[in-house]
Structure 1
Amino acid sequence: MRRTRIAFFDVDGTLTTDTTLFRFLRYYLAALGHAPHVYEQRRQRLKAMTDIGVPREETNRAYFENFKGSSAPTVTRLAREWFAAELRQGGFLNDHALAALRRHQANGDPVVLVSGSFPACLEPIAAHLGADETWCTPPEITRGHYTGRLIRPPMIGEAKAEAVLMVASAYRTTPSHCTAYGDHISDVPMLSLTGSATVVGGDKDLRDLARSRSWQLLPGAPGTPACPGPPTAAPRTESPGRPQHN
Structure 2
Amino acid sequence: MSELPTSAAFFDVDGTLTRRTTLFGFLRHDMASRGLPHQAYLAQRERLHAMTLAGAPRRATNRAYFRLLAGRSAGELAEAGRRWYAEERAADGAGFFRPEALAALAAHRAAGRLVVLVSGSFAPCLDPLAAELGADAVLCTAPRIVRGRYTGEVEHPMLDARKALAAAGFAARRGLDLTDCHAYGDHHSDLPLLRLVGHPVVVGEDEVLHRTAAEHGWPLLRPTRDTPTALSTTALPSATTTHGIGEAQ
TM-score (norm 1): 0.86
Which residue pairs with 1:139 in the alignment? Answer: 143
Letter in 2 for 1:115: S
Query: Which of 4, 24, 29 is equivalent to 1:22?
Result: 24
**Once superposed, which parts of structure 1, at least 4 consecutive aligned residues long, lie more than 4 Å away?**
none
Letter in 1 for 2:39: H
Q: Does 1:212 align with 2:215?
A: yes
Report deviation, 1:2: 8.8
Query: Which of 50, 54, 70 is equivalent to 1:68?
Result: 70
Compared CA separation, residues 204 and 139, structure 1 to 2 (3 A): same
Distance in 1 (alpha carbons) for counterparts of 2:198 and 2:209? 18
Which residue pairs with 1:160 in the alignment? Answer: 163
Compared CA separation, residues 73 and 51, structure 1 to 2 (3 A): same
Report deviation, 1:173: 2.2
Compared CA separation, residues 200 and 143, structure 1 to 2 (3 A): same
Which residue pairs with 1:124 in the alignment? Answer: 128
Distance in 2 (alpha carbons) for counterparts of 1:72 and 1:221? 38
Which residue pairs with 2:114 in the alignment? Answer: 110
The unaligned stretches of length 5 or more in structure 2 are 226-249
Which residue pairs with 2:247 in the alignment? Answer: none
Letter in 2 for 1:213: H
Which residue pairs with 1:172 in the alignment? Answer: 175
Distance in 1 (alpha carbons) for counterparts of 2:223 and 2:153? 32
Report deviation, 1:221: 8.6
Larger strand share, 1 or 2 = 2
Distance in 1 (alpha carbons) for counterparts of 2:5 and 2:198? 13
The unaligned stretches of length 5 or more in structure 1 are 223-246
Compared CA separation, residues 107 and 61, structure 1 to 2 (3 A): same
Which whole-Å deviations, capped at 9, do the CAs of 1:60-115 have from their partners, x for residues lacking one? 11110111111222211111011111221211111110110000000000001110
Q: Does 1:37 align with 2:35?
A: no
Which residue pairs with 1:235 in the alignment? Answer: none
Distance in 2 (alpha carbons) for counterparts of 1:11 and 1:221? 18
Distance in 2 (alpha carbons) for counterparts of 1:206 and 1:52? 23
Structure 1 counterpart SS, 2:39: helix
Q: Taking every aligned residue pair, what percent have the same amino acid on both sides? A: 48
Letter in 2 for 1:27: H
Distance in 1 (alpha carbons) for counterparts of 2:59 and 2:97? 24
Structure 2 counterpart SS, 1:67: coil
Query: Which of 148, 153, 171 is equivalent to 1:149?
Result: 153
Contact preservation (8 Å) 1:17, 1:221: no
Report deviation, 1:148: 0.6
Which whole-Å deviations, capped at 9, do the CAs of 1:154-187 have from their partners, x for residues lacking one? 1111101111211111121232221100101110
